[in-house]
Chain A
Amino acid sequence: MELLLQQVMAGLANGAIYACVALAVVMIYQAIDHLNFAQGEMAMFSTFIAWQLITWGVPYWVAFAITVVLSFIAGVLIDRVLFRPVQNAPILSQIVAFIALFSILNSSAGQIWDYTIKSFPTPFGTAPLLGSMVDAHEAGMIGVTLLLLGFLYAFFRGTRLGLAMRAAAANPVSARLVGIRVGWMTALGWGMAAALGAIAGILIAPVVFLEPNMMIGVLLYGFAGAVLGGLTSPGGAVVGGFAVGVLENLAGTFIPYVGRELKLTLALIMIVIVLMFRPNGLFGRIVVSRV
């Protein structure tokens, strides 16, 4: 029983990472209607910028704020400069453009900051909490994720801008006809996703350490979490992220013989089984199609 509780808590701590990334994934999905494969690399690049600022002696929270703002601007620029020209291209071509961006960011970060693993400071400390089941940083990470979720919920449900963004994603043509600048809403979505990614990267970096490939594995789990929760639901993405973390840990601990080696595979198989019964994710909206 104690082992179970311990593994669940450890899973939740990992899950907080995935939930953060899943939230960013859903954010961009809402804005542009498909996945951004370069999301993780954008977050990694932002984290490197934060690291560079901190190394230069900028206080942690100032560096944090500067990085988030810079990432927002970079996100908007990427949309305006790179994705505006291909927005009418077939979907698969756009996905390839994401892959190109992924490759560019990964390789440039490696060239600028090299591939050695760097440690990253945490503002929460590492004191053990709750009978040493989680440490302070993990608790802080869970807290920030929930805070971001609350903020996004308030933004999308409670503000005119949030409503405009939802309208632009749901029906671009009609949204334009009622005076919403759809192109700028998309750019805003990119900026917000980049800023969320930066926060996720900065929170994750103390745990997984900073290096150009740090986000690849994490993004995959975040993607899985977002799909499990349903790509149309930010709350679902957070639940999905936590669920993936817990499932992975429990599979690794309790399924004998195969668990440890194949825990990622097992977690993914479980997700696919869930999707069999809920093809739009646990909390996703069902899309009705017409002939």
Chain B
Amino acid sequence: MTLREDDIAVSAAVPIQRGARMRPTPRHAVIAGFVVIAFAVPLIASSFVMFQLSEVLIYGLAILGLNLLTGFNGQFSLGHSAFYGLGAYTAAILMHNYEINYLWTLPAAGIVCFVVGFLFGLPALRLQNLYLALATFALATAMPQILKFHALENWTGGVQGLVVDQPDPPDFLSMIDGDQWLYYVTLVVVLLMFAAAATLVRSRTGRAVMAIRDNPIAAAAMGINVSLYKTLTFGVSALYTGVAGALSALVVAFVAPDSFTIFLSISLLVGLVIGGVGSIPGCLFGGLFMLYVPNIANSLSNGLAGAIYGVILLIVIFVMPAGAAGFVRAASAQLSRWRQNPAEGGHR
């Protein structure tokens, strides 16, 4: 899996940014603006829009999980629907069968997925590219079958799935309704996890993870424990996607085996590429695409929805081959070049 040189430049730039950590940049202002807007949206939007935005955030978080693995570590996965499903079922089973508080189900789902992801990362060490794609693909096709398996029906509810009771907002927040409360829960969890991912990527560990992506042999020669970091990345990636799954169980209030098929993995992959491989904010754009574009295609024509979706996808790939993040990066580079030298830029 070869990635673009732009991504490599990110790791080279890190030591310089360290010294200048305290000085706010335009990037910080944009992020702060988004956070303020995200907290203010429930004041004006309807509860259906709140539900949709919660899903966008959840998809964004799941895509971030995939991005940590694919974008930053160079391992390909078609199996993230399985981790998403595992997280969702862990949360649903804990709430439905054991009546555990919904907030505790999120870390529980994260831990379960981390362990499973870490263990799956061990055989994945031997496989590369398409062979790894097949192995993770096996995981994705196995998950719905295992969830339907008759011996586990007492826990999983079999083909019927499980209904989850949606939590009410706490008493001191009685002025907001259930959808708004769930949106805020999702927003806080997602923001914390995005911040953690951004920190992780900029750390020593993150540089080791990216060095493995760029050249595993050279990374090993520099003393990086390639096997350990690859399996750990698999675990952390599964953790992110699993927490996203658990949040989705809360927001949708229902889990069923056929929500977690290979097609979910493919959607996540599409979201990852559209948002930008190796970009953290891009994941949220991928989430937006994943939720809204199929809806738009459906509203244009019921019968040809798939074809319209495909055409939109092709156009996006033609216009932004490196995803939204690559597009923004190229545009801002062009803009600064134009600022420095208006005469030259104007003619191009």
- Chain A, residues 76-101, CB within 8 Å of chain B (1/0): the string is 00000010011011111101110111
Assuming A90-B322, A107-B306, A223-B134, is B142 touching A265 (CB within 8 A)?
A: yes
Q: In the complex, how many angstroms separate the beta carbon of A91 from the nearest chain B beta carbon?
A: 6
Other-chain contact of B134, A261, A262, A271 (Cβ < 8 Å): A271
On whether the beta carbons of A93 and B145 are closer than 8 Å, the reply is no
Closest chain B residue to A37 by CB distance? Answer: B266
On whether the beta carbons of B314 and A258 are closer than 8 Å, the reply is no
On whether the beta carbons of B317 and A104 are closer than 8 Å, the reply is no
Interface: A139 (CB within 8 A): no
Interface: B329 (CB within 8 A): no
Assuming A85-B318, A93-B273, is B311 touching A104 (CB within 8 A)?
A: yes
Assuming A35-B130, A279-B128, is B141 touching A96 (CB within 8 A)?
A: no
On whether the beta carbons of B131 and A258 are closer than 8 Å, the reply is no
Interface: B321 (CB within 8 A): yes
On whether the beta carbons of A99 and B304 are closer than 8 Å, the reply is no
On whether the beta carbons of B314 and A100 are closer than 8 Å, the reply is yes
Most buried by B among A86, A107, A262, A275: A107
Q: In the complex, how many angstroms separate the beta carbon of A187 from the nearest chain B beta carbon?
A: 18
Interface: B45 (CB within 8 A): no
Interface residues of A in 246-291 (CB under 8 A from B): 258, 261-262, 264-265, 268-269, 271-272, 275-276, 279-281, 289, 291
Q: Using Cβ atoms and an 8 Å threshold, which residues of chain B touch A86?
A: 317-318, 321
Binding site of A, secondary structure by majority: helix, strand, loop or mixed? helix
Closest chain A residue to B216 by CB distance? Answer: A289
Interface: B337 (CB within 8 A): no
Q: Using Cβ atoms and an 8 Å threshold, which residues of chain B touch A227?
A: 130-131, 134
Interface: A119 (CB within 8 A): no
Interface residues of B in 113-144 (CB under 8 A from A): 123, 126-128, 130-131, 133-135, 137-138, 141-142
On whether the beta carbons of A272 and B149 are closer than 8 Å, the reply is no
On whether the beta carbons of A100 and B323 are closer than 8 Å, the reply is no
Other-chain contact of B277, A92, A100, A101, A220 (Cβ < 8 Å): A92
Other-chain contact of B313, A34, A100, A224 (Cβ < 8 Å): A100
On whether the beta carbons of A106 and B306 are closer than 8 Å, the reply is yes
Other-chain contact of A104, B146, B221, B266, B307 (Cβ < 8 Å): B307
Interface: B345 (CB within 8 A): no
Q: Using Cβ atoms and an 8 Å threshold, which residues of chain A touch B239?
A: none
On whether the beta carbons of B321 and A89 are closer than 8 Å, the reply is yes
Q: Using Cβ atoms and an 8 Å threshold, which residues of chain B touch A265?
A: 138, 141-142, 145-146
- Give how many A residues have a beta carbon under 8 Å from the other chain's beta carbons: 46
- Chain B, residues 210-250, CB within 8 Å of chain A (1/0): the string is 00000101100100000000000000000000000000000
Q: Using Cβ atoms and an 8 Å threshold, which residues of chain A touch B314?
A: 82, 97, 100-101, 104
On whether the beta carbons of B131 and A95 are closer than 8 Å, the reply is no
A97 to B321 CA separation, bound complex (whole angstroms):
10
Closest chain A residue to B7 by CB distance? Answer: A90
On whether the beta carbons of A281 and B131 are closer than 8 Å, the reply is yes
Interface: A150 (CB within 8 A): no
Interface size class of B (residues with CB under 8 A): 35 or more
On whether the beta carbons of B273 and A289 are closer than 8 Å, the reply is no
On whether the beta carbons of A291 and B218 are closer than 8 Å, the reply is yes
Q: Using Cβ atoms and an 8 Å threshold, which residues of chain B touch A93?
A: 273, 317, 321-323
Q: Using Cβ atoms and an 8 Å threshold, which residues of chain B touch A92?
A: 1, 70, 269, 272-273, 277
On whether the beta carbons of B141 and A108 are closer than 8 Å, the reply is no
A108 to B303 CA separation, bound complex (whole angstroms):
8
On whether the beta carbons of A289 and B318 are closer than 8 Å, the reply is no
On whether the beta carbons of B310 and A261 are closer than 8 Å, the reply is no
Q: Using Cβ atoms and an 8 Å threshold, which residues of chain A touch B313?
A: 96-97, 99-100, 103
Interface: A111 (CB within 8 A): yes
Instruction: Compute the total of residue contacts between A and B using a CB distance below 8 Å.
Output: 142
A289 to B214 CA separation, bound complex (whole angstroms):
13
On whether the beta carbons of A110 and B303 are closer than 8 Å, the reply is yes
Closest chain A residue to B4 by CB distance? Answer: A90
A265 to B141 CA separation, bound complex (whole angstroms):
7
Other-chain contact of B266, A89, A99, A269, A272 (Cβ < 8 Å): A99
Interface: B274 (CB within 8 A): yes
Interface: B150 (CB within 8 A): yes
Q: In the complex, how many angstroms separate the beta carbon of A265 from the nearest chain B beta carbon?
A: 4
Other-chain contact of A107, B135, B150, B215, B307 (Cβ < 8 Å): B307
A165 to B30 CA separation, bound complex (whole angstroms):
50
A101 to B307 CA separation, bound complex (whole angstroms):
8
Q: Using Cβ atoms and an 8 Å threshold, which residues of chain A touch B149?
A: 258, 261-262
A82 to B310 CA separation, bound complex (whole angstroms):
12
Other-chain contact of A264, B131, B134, B145 (Cβ < 8 Å): B145
Most buried by A among B1, B70, B266: B266
On whether the beta carbons of B135 and A272 are closer than 8 Å, the reply is yes
Interface: B299 (CB within 8 A): no
User: Which residues in A have some Cβ–Cβ distance to B below 8 Å?
Assistant: 34-35, 82, 85-86, 88-93, 95-97, 99-104, 106-108, 110-111, 220, 223-224, 227, 231, 258, 261-262, 264-265, 268-269, 271-272, 275-276, 279-281, 289, 291
A-B contact pairs, 14 of them (CB 8 A): A88-B321, A92-B272, A93-B322, A95-B273, A103-B307, A103-B313, A104-B311, A220-B262, A265-B141, A265-B145, A268-B138, A269-B138, A276-B127, A279-B127
Known: A93-B321, A276-B127, A281-B131. 8 other contacts (CB 8 A): A86-B318, A90-B3, A220-B141, A227-B130, A231-B130, A265-B146, A268-B137, A275-B135
Minimum-distance CB pairs A-B, first 8: A107-B306, A268-B138, A104-B310, A89-B321, A103-B310, A100-B313, A265-B142, A100-B310
